[in-house]
């Protein structure tokens, strides 16, 4: 995935001179995960450059560039460090189109690794997608495969509005997948059916997609039941029609997120299904999530949802 992100940036920068990359150590070093490796050498320091250690400065500069005809891609090294820039994101980038009556748009992307999986402890493992999905004017995108990472990233850069592009760092080097060379896009606000099925449906995104897929395979082996796995891909705006149709088709629903449970993204998903498809439900909706605590270091494997916890949840809705 990290190579797909890198290739996506190179592909669109070759096509569009208005695209540039800025952030801490994104230049010659290539970023802490090497997602921007080689960009400065190919495109020069005017189009891929290091910034001071100031997240609000990075995003503030990005907003100004976007309002003046550029397409900045701002990198925040870890999503945990995005909060000093929160006001620039939710009060400026997200609201500029509305407050200017459409005179200005902010075509910028904020890339940031999120989530657990690298034993980073409480300051390098948070999942803050709900903060941004709650903010009108922002789009929130979470890829789970190399193919989607490149295609969704290019689509995000081409989008006229600000996009929070959350990259699950646990998947950066988890598996390999062939992807096309050059430019291609994956439409925002679309879901992806990972596995077919009509006995239950598991909604997931990011690093929870392979976890949910493994759980569905275990259910098939142990119960001979087919659990559909749906990768949400774009959390905001969500493809609500696809989600509701899958809920109606299956009737038994499990939602998986690694973020804490209370007020998490899965809560909104549960409420939406309850409001619009409750008559199709055959069991209460189950959520498998992280816990309402700071992200632990030594207990990371206990905190993160795994295939066993997801399998247990699917079995509960099947047995209801």
Structure tokens of 166?
């959350």
Tell me if 108 sits within 8 A of 93, measured CB to CB: yes
pLDDT of residue 209: 98
Q: Which residue bears the tokens 């500069």?
A: 61
- The reply to whether 134 belongs to the active site is no
| pTM > 0.85 | yes
Give the position of tokens 């902010």. Answer: 106
Q: What's the N-to-C CA distance of the chain in angstroms?
A: 38
Residue pair 33/169 in contact (Cβ under 8 Å)? The answer is: yes
The pLDDT assigned to 262 comes to 97
Residue 169 is classified by DSSP as G
Q: Which of 245, 261, 77 is nearest to 169 (CA)?
A: 77
Alpha carbon 122 to its chain centroid, in Å, reads 19
CA separation for the pair 75, 132 (Å, rounded): 16
CA angle 161, 98, 86 (to 5 degrees): 65
pLDDT by residue (tens digit) across 206-240?
Answer: 999 999 999 999 999 999 999 999 999 999 999 99
pLDDT value at residue 317: 98
The β-bridge relationship of strands 253-260 and 286-290 is parallel
pLDDT at 253: 98
Q: Which of 111, 124, 228, 252 is catalytic?
A: 124
What pLDDT, on a 0 to 100 scale, did the predictor assign at position 6? 98
Structural domains of the chain in order of their starting residue, each with its CATH number: 2-171 (3.40.50.970), 192-319 (3.40.50.920)
pLDDT at res. 152: 98
What confidence score (pLDDT) does residue 92 get? 97
Q: Which residues of the chain have pLDDT under 50?
A: none
Q: How far apart are CA 251 and CA 197, in angstroms?
A: 11
The pLDDT, as a whole number, for residue 309 is: 98
């Amino acid at each position: 995935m990290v190579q797909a992100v890198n290739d996506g940036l190179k592909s669109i920068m070759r096509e569009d001179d208005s695209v540039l990359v800025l952030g801490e150590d994104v230049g010659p070093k290539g970023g802490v995960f090497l997602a921007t490796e080689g960009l400065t050498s190919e495109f020069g320091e005017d189009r891929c450059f290091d910034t001071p250690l100031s997240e609000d400065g990075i995003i503030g500069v990005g907003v100004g560039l976007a309002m003046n005809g550029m397409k900045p891609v701002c990198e925040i090294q870890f999503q945990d460090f995005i909060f000093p820039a929160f006001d620039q994101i939710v009060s400026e980038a997200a609201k500029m189109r509305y407050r200017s009556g459409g005179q200005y748009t902010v075509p910028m992307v904020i890339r940031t690794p999120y989530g657990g999986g690298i034993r980073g402890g409480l300051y390098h493992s948070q999942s803050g997608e709900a903060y941004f999905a709650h903010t009108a004017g922002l789009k929130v995108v979470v890829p789970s495969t190399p193919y989607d990472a490149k295609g969704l990233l290019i689509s995000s850069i081409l989008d006229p509005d600000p996009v929070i592009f959350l990259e699950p760092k646990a998947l950066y080097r988890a598996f390999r997948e062939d992807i096309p060379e050059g430019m291609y896009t994956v439409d925002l606000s679309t879901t992806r059916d990972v596995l077919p099925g009509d006995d239950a449906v598991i909604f997931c995104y990011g690093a929870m997609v392979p976890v949910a897929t493994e759980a569905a395979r275990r259910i098939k082996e142990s119960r001979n039941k087919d659990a559909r796995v749906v990768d949400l891909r774009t959390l905001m705006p969500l493809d609500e029609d696809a989600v509701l149709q899958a809920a109606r088709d299956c009737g038994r629903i499990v939602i998986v997120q690694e973020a804490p449970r209370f007020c998490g993204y899965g809560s909104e998903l549960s409420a939406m299904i309850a409001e619009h498809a409750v008559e199709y439900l055959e069991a209460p909706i189950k959520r498998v999530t992280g816990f309402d605590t700071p992200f632990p270091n030594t207990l990371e494997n206990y905190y993160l949802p795994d295939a066993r916890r997801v399998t247990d949840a699917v079995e509960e809705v099947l047995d209801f």
